[in-house]
């Protein structure tokens, strides 16, 4: 393996300083970190809220349960990856630092009951940190780890069903479609693995690392890489159909509506690209760094992008113009989530962890933790 470090041009992102590795895929570099994420399922919001995993009513932010109930008495580490929800489970991961000079940190996957938040099982055999969340399908929970492995765990027991070794850290959340797991690695490969066995169906090589989840339209996968390119790849064979050259790394996952692919690079450029040809339709520079991918309104009329400066942008998908923006204290480093008339954003380094805003105008619906009025 090439041990030289080939660093990209400087990127004015404080949040990237903790996660940048060499694009050559060599070992070493700075330890990876991650940012909290959320999932909305059946009118309930599930979030990795640092000290706890919380379940809230999506309509008003009222809590349903928290794990652990009291982190001061029962600390389970720092919860940060986006929860996977399915088959009666909420599955997350935490990082538990070592407690002494000879104590090693632990990286733990937790399976919780979706209704109560009670622990069902945990898995702590992985040697590295979990940077992004996993996916649930067919009785398996599949997640990548910084030790270079992809783990497929039995949803009911937590026992490993298979483990696939890549050539580098795995920071991406998989996409599972039918019996295939699509997942990228920092080794510059996008893998298509058999869900039941973990065997390779095909693999696609790029000039930069993959840290995003691919989006699927018909039989084509769309995914960006750290080589400034957005790729269209045949989902059956792994053959490239086209690539689009952006201005910086594509870290977040793209989204698709009708015949258009929408993607963001880490400099804050938002692109609309024709899904068939790869030709640019429009481009808008937000002027603020962006870590995660965009989210779409359910009718496809608006695109939501969160930035490191704490602003959530609502763009017109027809031309990329900003329709409204919602400013907040803190930073938005994960993809917003749209559910009906409300868009949810996760924040760090601010007084609130979660904000719910109306899709149409950006007006605030609720925040978590709620605002506490001072006693007079």
- Contacts of residue 92, defined as CB under 8 A and 6 or more positions apart, other chains included, come to 48, 53, 79, 81, 83, 84, 109, 110, 112, 133
Show the CA angle centred on residue 351, arms to residues 111 and 17, nearest 5°.
75
Domain with CATH 2.40.10.480 in the chain: 294-376
Q: Tens of pLDDT along the chain (376 residues)?
A: 333 322 343 333 333 334 333 333 333 332 334 567 899 999 999 999 888 999 999 999 999 999 999 998 988 999 988 999 999 999 999 999 877 666 788 999 999 999 999 999 999 999 999 999 999 999 999 999 999 999 999 999 999 999 999 999 999 999 999 999 999 999 999 999 999 999 999 999 999 999 999 999 999 999 999 999 999 999 999 999 999 999 999 999 999 999 999 999 999 999 999 999 999 999 999 999 999 999 999 999 999 999 999 999 999 999 999 999 999 888 888 999 999 999 999 998 888 899 999 999 999 999 999 876 554 4
What topology is assigned to 36-136 in CATH? Answer: Lipocalin (2.40.128)
Question: What pTM, to 2 d.p., does this model score?
Answer: 0.90
Query: Would you state the pLDDT for residue 63?
Result: 97
Quick one: fold of 1-30+174-285? Lipocalin (2.40.128)
Longest dimension (CA), the chain: 67
Residue 333: the pLDDT is: 85
- Residue 239 near residue 220, CB atoms below 8 Å: no
Can you list the alpha helix ranges (DSSP code H) found in the chain? none
pLDDT at 103: 74
Q: Residue written as tokens 């559910």?
A: 339
By CB atoms closer than 10 A (0-12, 13-18, 19+), residue 30 is: exposed
**Under 8 Å CB-to-CB from 69, ≥6 apart: which residues?**
none
CATH of domain 294-376: 2.40.10.480
The Cα 101–Cα 99 span in angstroms is 7
CA distance 354 to 357: 10
Write out the two tokens for 121.
Answer: 């099982």
Question: Helix and strand tally (H, E) in the chain?
Answer: 0, 33
The pLDDT score that the predictor gives to residue 34 is 52
CB 187 within 8 A of CB 147: no
Closest listed residue to residue 209, CA positions, set 270, 265, 252, 251: 251
User: What SS3 class is residue 336?
Assistant: coil
Which of 109, 106, 105 lies closest to 93, judged by CA? 109
Strands (E), 275-361: 280-285, 295-296, 302-306, 312-316, 322-326, 337-339, 342-346, 354-358
Q: What is the pLDDT of residue 332?
A: 87
**361, 63 Cβ separation under 8 angstroms:** no
How do the residues of the chain divide into helix, strand and coil, expressed in percent and rounded to 5? 0, 45, 55
CATH 2.40.128.630 in the chain, residue ranges = 1-30+174-285, 36-136
Given a contact cutoff of 8 angstroms between Cβ atoms, the answer to whether 217 and 235 are in contact is no
């Amino acid at each position: 393996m090439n041990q030289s470090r080939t660093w990209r041009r400087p990127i004015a992102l404080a949040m990237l300083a903790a996660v940048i590795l060499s694009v050559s895929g060599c070992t070493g570099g700075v330890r990876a970190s991650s940012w909290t994420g959320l999932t909305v399922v059946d009118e309930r919001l599930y979030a990795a809220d640092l000290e706890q995993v919380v379940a809230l009513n999506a309509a008003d932010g009222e809590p349903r349960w928290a794990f652990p109930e009291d982190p001061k008495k029962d600390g389970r580490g720092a919860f940060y990856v986006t929860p996977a929800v399915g088959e009666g489970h909420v599955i997350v991961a935490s990082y538990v630092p070592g407690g002494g000079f000879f104590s090693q940190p632990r990286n733990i996957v937790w399976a919780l009951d979706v209704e109560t938040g009670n622990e069902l099982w945990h898995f702590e055999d992985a040697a590295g940190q979990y940077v992004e969340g996993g996916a649930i399908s067919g009785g398996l929970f599949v997640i990548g780890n910084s030790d270079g492995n992809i783990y497929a765990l039995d949803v009911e027991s937590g026992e490993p069903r298979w483990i696939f070794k890549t050539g580098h850290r795995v920071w991406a959340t998989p996409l599972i479609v039918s019996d295939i797991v699509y997942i990228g690695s920092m080794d510059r490969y996008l893998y298509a693995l058999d869900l039941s066995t973990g065997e390779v169906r095909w693999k696609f090589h790029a000039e930069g690392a993959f840290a995003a989840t691919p989006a699927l339209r018909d039989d084509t996968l769309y995914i960006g890489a750290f080589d400034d390119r957005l790729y269209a790849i045949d989902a059956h064979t792994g053959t490239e159909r086209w690539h689009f050259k952006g201005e910086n790394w594509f870290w977040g996952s793209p989204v698709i509506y009708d015949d258009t692919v929408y993607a963001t690079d880490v400099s804050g450029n938002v692109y609309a690209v024709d899904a068939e040809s790869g030709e640019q339709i429009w481009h808008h520079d937000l002027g603020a760094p962006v870590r995660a991918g965009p989210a779409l309104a359910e009718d496809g009329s608006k695109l939501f992008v969160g930035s490191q400066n704490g602003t959530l942008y609502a763009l017109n998908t027809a031309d990329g113009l900003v329709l409204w923006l919602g400013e907040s204290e803190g930073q938005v480093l994960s993809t917003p989530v749209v559910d009906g008339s409300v868009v949810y954003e996760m924040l760090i380094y601010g007084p609130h962890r979660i904000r719910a805003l109306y899709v149409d105008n950006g007006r605030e619906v609720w925040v978590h933790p709620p605002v506490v009025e001072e006693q007079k």
